[in-house]
């Protein structure tokens, strides 16, 4: 796991830098900076909107006494998407937008649910319904 994260944190910035340099050489510096700023502003607005929507869903489901499982997965993905939009770069912005848009978020949610299920089934994560932590 350590090596995977190390590779991720080393290669992604290099790829992002390469893409930004290529965009800057083809479009120019100001249009490239404009794209980065506009995606940041649009991403922040979308993250706020989607985050508040997920929070309302969680509150609504809990008020009916239901465990907000799907809404919690959405919340995690919206948070990750918002964090990715904070980092400058085209790939991270595209991935962040995909996590914030409900139509594409379901793809990531399906994989996240499978991953969590595998962790629970392998015993790496313990889930006990109805348990209360005081």
Asked if residue 11 belongs to a domain, the reply is: no
Asked if residue 7 belongs to a domain, the reply is: no
Number of structural domains (the chain) is 1
3-state secondary structure string across the chain: CHHHHHHHHHHHHHHHHHHHHHHHHHHCHHHHHHHHHHHHHHHHHHHHHHHHHHHHHHHHHHHCCCCCHHHHHHHHHHHHHHHHHHCCCHHHHHHHHHHHCHHHHHHHHHHHHHHHHHHHHHCCCCCCCCCCCC
Asked if residue 110 belongs to a domain, the reply is: yes
At 40 the pLDDT is 84
**Using 50, 70 and 90 to split pLDDT, how confident is the model at 75?**
very high
pLDDT exceeds cutoff 50 at 134 = no
Asked if residue 25 belongs to a domain, the reply is: no
Q: What tens digit of pLDDT does each residue of 21-72 get?
A: 999 999 999 999 999 889 888 888 999 999 999 999 999 988 988 888 889 9
- Determine the structural domain holding residue 62 and report its residue range: 41-122
Q: What tens digit of pLDDT does each residue of 78-107 get?
A: 999 999 988 888 899 999 999 999 899 999
């Amino acid at each position: 796991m350590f090596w995977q994260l190390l590779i991720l944190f080393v290669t992604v910035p290099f790829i992002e830098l390469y893409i930004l340099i290529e965009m800057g050489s083809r479009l120019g510096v100001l249009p490239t900076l404009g794209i980065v700023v506009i995606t940041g502003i649009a991403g922040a607005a979308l993250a706020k909107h989607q985050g508040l929507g997920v929070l309302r869903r969680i509150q609504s489901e809990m008020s009916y006494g239901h465990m907000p499982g799907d809404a919690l997965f959405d919340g995690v993905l919206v948070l990750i998407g918002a964090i990715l939009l904070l980092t400058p770069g085209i790939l991270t912005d595209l991935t962040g937008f995909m996590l914030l848009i409900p139509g594409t978020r379901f793809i990531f949610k399906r994989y996240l649910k499978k991953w969590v299920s595998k962790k629970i089934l392998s015993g790496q994560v313990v889930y006990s319904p109805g348990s209360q932590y005081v």
